[in-house]
Structure formats: C-alpha cells, structure tokens
Amino acid sequence: MSRRPIIRIRVVLHEGAALGPGKADLLAAIAEYGSIAAAGRSMGMSYQRAWSLVDELNRYFRSPVVEATRGGAGRGGAHLTSVGREVLATYRSIEQKATKYCGAEVERLRRLAPPEGPDISAPK
C-alpha cells in the first residue's frame, strides 16, 4: 500500500472504457512475469479476474495489448505487444507528470488531512 503513488490517475478512453492504476499495474506485471496467471497472483488477483481484465484491455485498443501463448496442459506465457508497451509507457508518463506538476497542491491537501486526524487511528 505505502508504495502506491499518492496521485492515482484514471484516463477515460471512451464511454465505458478507462485505464487506471489496477490495469496499468497488471500490464506491468505481465511484462515482468511473462504470464497472465503469475501477474495476477503477484497482485493478489484470481486467475479469472486477471484474464477478464486482459480481455477488457484487449478490446479497448486498436489492436491487442497482451498476447497469450497457450501450451499443453494449460501452461503458457503472455507478453505485451508493441501497442501494449506504448499504452503502459504513456500511462506511466501521465502518472509521472501529474506527480511532478501537482506536487505542491497534493502536499497542501495532505497537510489538511493529517493521519493523526481526530477520528482515524488516534491512540487516545
């Protein structure tokens, strides 16, 4: 939790389709693990959930972002296509720019919301 970015971005692609931190992290994990199932597991996600998100993502874009290769006995790998790599890199660039340019405002909000606020986890 603590490593998550402080600003989370959701880009609305078109009606009913958005790319946010969950799908972006899943793409990154697929690139890392070379497998949809392993990527999902690394995020505490069920196999079905991970496949369903990949299926959604593949429908969002002009061409698929993830390609799976199924081998025998249900085993197989997956990798990002060039479109998938571009989607992920572009999303990360948005996150980085938002963090950079909105840093002062985010700090102002966080100063107004101290973790030791009156009703949250106050020890006494």
Please report, as ranges, the residues that interact with a copy of itself according to CB under 8 A. Answer: 1-2, 4-19, 59-62, 83, 86-87, 90-91, 93-94, 97-98, 101-102, 105-106, 108-110, 112-115, 117-120
- Residue 73 C-beta: closest distance to a copy of itself, Å: 29
Q: What's the CA gap between 80 and 33, in Å, rounded? A: 11
4 close to 21: Cβ distance less than 8 angstroms? yes
Q: Which is nearer to a copy of itself, 63 or 75 (CB)?
A: 63
E strand segments, 58-113: 66-70, 76-80
- Residue 88 C-beta: closest distance to a copy of itself, Å: 10
Q: Which is nearer to a copy of itself, 46 or 89 (CB)?
A: 89
Q: What's the CA gap between 2 and 121, in Å, rounded? A: 16
